[in-house]
């Protein structure tokens, strides 16, 4: 009987770990996850562009300054329309770490150096992990929305 109780506890612990992993994966940072392509935005010119998802923002814009940032863009209607939840870029130190990790096939926790801002004009850059960032990172969505992360 004690053996069945022990086995049941092990199964329960494994199930909880799998569930926690799934929840973490689902709600993890949409920070720097290299993809085939991604949307970027030049803050100086207002131009949106598609670039390789491996480009680590900020990137040098037409004016010669680091003004190109990445967009976190989503849709709740199957891609018919889209909305930019926020722009993101990395601090200089973390940009360097990410580029070095990419060059050597490694990875780093990009959230630590990620800065975000709302797409509204004049919004300020804040740390992704800050309390202030949470309403931006987790926008209000329609009930039962099927969220599609947009990429070119």
pLDDT digits 0-9 by tens, 107-137: 777 778 999 999 998 999 999 999 999 999 9
Give the pLDDT mean for 50-67: 95
Q: How many CB atoms lie within 10 A of CB 66?
A: 16
What residue spans define the domains of the chain? Answer: 1-29, 31-149
19-27: long-range contacts (C-beta < 8 A, 24 or more apart)? none
Q: Is 14 helix (H, G, I), strand (E, B) or coil?
A: helix
- Bond before 58 cis per omega within 30 degrees: yes
CA 69 to centroid of chain Cα atoms: 12
Quick one: pLDDT at residue 29?
Answer: 42
Per-residue tokens: 17:
């770990």
Strand partners, 71: 87
Q: List % helix, strand, coil for the chain (3-state, nearest 5).
A: 30, 25, 45
Q: What is the mean pLDDT of residues 55-67?
A: 96
Average pLDDT, the chain: 81
User: By C-alpha distance, which of 18, 138, 20 is closest to 72?
Assistant: 138
Report CA dihedral (44, 47, 52, 55) to the nearest 10 degrees: 10
> With pLDDT > 90 as the criterion, what percentage of the chain qualifies?
57
């Amino acid at each position: 009987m004690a053996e069945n109780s022990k086995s049941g506890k092990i199964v329960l612990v494994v199930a909880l770990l799998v569930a926690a992993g799934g929840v973490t994966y689902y709600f993890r940072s949409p920070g720097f996850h290299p993809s085939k392509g991604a949307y970027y935005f030049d803050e100086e010119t207002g131009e949106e562009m598609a670039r390789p998802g491996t480009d680590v923002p900020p990137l040098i814009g037409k004016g010669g300054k680091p003004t190109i940032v990445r967009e976190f863009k989503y849709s709740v209607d199957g891609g018919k329309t889209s909305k930019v939840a926020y722009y993101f870029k990395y601090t200089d130190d973390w940009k360097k770490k990410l580029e070095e990790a990419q060059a050597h096939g490694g990875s780093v926790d990009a959230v630590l150096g990620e800065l975000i801002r709302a797409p509204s004009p004049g919004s300020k850059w804040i740390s992704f992990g800050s309390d202030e960032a949470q309403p931006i990172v987790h926008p209000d969505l329609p009930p039962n929305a099927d969220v599609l992360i947009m990429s070119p």
